[in-house]
Amino acid sequence: MAFEYRDNDSPADVVWNTGSVTPEMRGRLKPHAGRCIWFTGLSGSGKSTLANVLEAELNRRGCHTMLLDGDNIRHGLCRDLGMSRADRSENIRRIGEVAHLFVESGLIVLTAFISPFARDRQQARSLFRPGEFQEVFVDTPLGLCEQRDPKGLYRRARAGEIHDFTGIDSPYEPPMQPELSLHATDSPQRHIEQLLALCLSGASDSAGSVG
């Protein structure tokens, strides 16, 4: 089944219900601001590894987090989707909506998805208020990703066993102005320092557990 995002495609009789508790009220119960850290990059670039390490460090500092990983999501929420361009766009649309709900609850949400298409990432960004969506480009060269190839996917794609594979026979559109670019030449420690600064900017001054 193919999906295509359309603006204003909600039925006319579906009306947004505004609750009594606002995101600001929820945020006051947290030691930090709710936000989405959106990791994007090629398969094997290190997105999931960085997201996992970052979440562990944020948890150690008393932050409330939720990690959305590409493979995990396809076991449940998006298990009905394939790997066509339309299905991958629908996958990212759903993730954006889920991430938005978590941010509304005051959590720091980390998403680790290839999300190869700029239009899909922009659509996700449009769900959030200014400053809530932080795009992190894990800028690892294709050659290095292929050397790592932790799942053997590049090898299978080169052999013609997998089609429409990002970086081989399907494009990856790198972010033009991400909030943060992480390069393979920098140390993992440097990456985490930069990510923590991004996550905790604007954290509550009264939160002794953060920092």
Q: In sequence order, what are the residues at sequence separation of 6 or more whose Cβ sits closer than 8 angstroms to the Cβ of residue 183?
A: 139, 140
34 is annotated as contributing to ligand binding: no
46 is annotated as contributing to ligand binding: yes
48 is annotated as contributing to ligand binding: yes
Sign of CA dihedral 41, 46, 49, 55: negative
Burial 110-149 (b: 16+ CB within 10 A, else e): bbbbbbbbeebbebbbebbeeebbbbbbbbbebeebbeeb
The answer to whether the CB of 172 falls within 8 A of the CB of 85 is: no
153 is annotated as contributing to ligand binding: no
First-residue to last-residue Cα distance in the chain: 46
170 is annotated as contributing to ligand binding: no
204 is annotated as contributing to ligand binding: no
DSSP run (H or E) holding 148? helix 142-148
Distance of alpha carbon 181 from alpha carbon 94, whole angstroms? 24
The one catalytic residue among 10, 89, 115, 181: 115
Active site residue 201: no
42 is annotated as contributing to ligand binding: yes
Q: Mark the binding-site residues for ATP, compressed into ranges.
A: 41-48
The catalytic site residues sit at: 115
